[in-house]
Amino acid sequence: MILSVVFNLLVLGFFKYYNFFADSANNLIKLITGNPVPSFLFPTLSIILPIGISYYTFKVMSYVFDVYLCKLPAVRSFPDVMLYVSFFPQISSGPIVHAADFFPQIQPVLDSGNEPGARPIEFDNATLLILSGLFKKMVFANFLSTLFVDPVFSNLAAYHSMEVFLAAVGYAVVIYCDFSGYSDMAIGIALLLGFHTPKNFDRPYMSFSITEFWKRWHITFSSWLRNYLYFSMGGSRFGLTHTLVALFFTMVLGGLWHGPSYTFLLWGVMQGSALVIERAFNYGNTRNRTPALAGLQIFGTFLFTVLSWVVFRAGSLKEVGLWFSSLGNFSQNITLLSPMIVVLIILGLGMHFVPAAVRKTGIKVWTYIPLPFKGIGIALFFALLSVISMSGVAPFIYFQF
Nearest CA to 385 among 128, 125, 139?
Answer: 139
- Are the CB atoms for 330 and 161 separated by under 8 Å? yes
Annotated catalytic, 98? Answer: no
Give the contacts of 397 (CB within 8 A, at least 6 positions apart).
174, 175, 178, 179
Can you tell me the distance from the alpha carbon of 137 to that of 135, in angstroms, rounded to the nearest whole number?
5
Can you tell me the distance from the alpha carbon of 265 to that of 109, in angstroms, rounded to the nearest whole number?
41
Q: Determine which one of 218, 242, 258, 352 is catalytic.
A: 258
Give the contacts of 13 (CB within 8 A, at least 6 positions apart).
21
DSSP assignment of 3-30 equals HHHHHHHHHHHHHHHHHHHHHHHHHHHH
DSSP assignment of 261-305 equals -HHHHHHHHHHHHHHHHHHHTT-TT---SSHHHHHHHHHHHHHHH
Residue type, 259: G
Can you tell me the distance from the alpha carbon of 200 to that of 9, in angstroms, rounded to the nearest whole number?
24
Residues noted as catalytic: 258
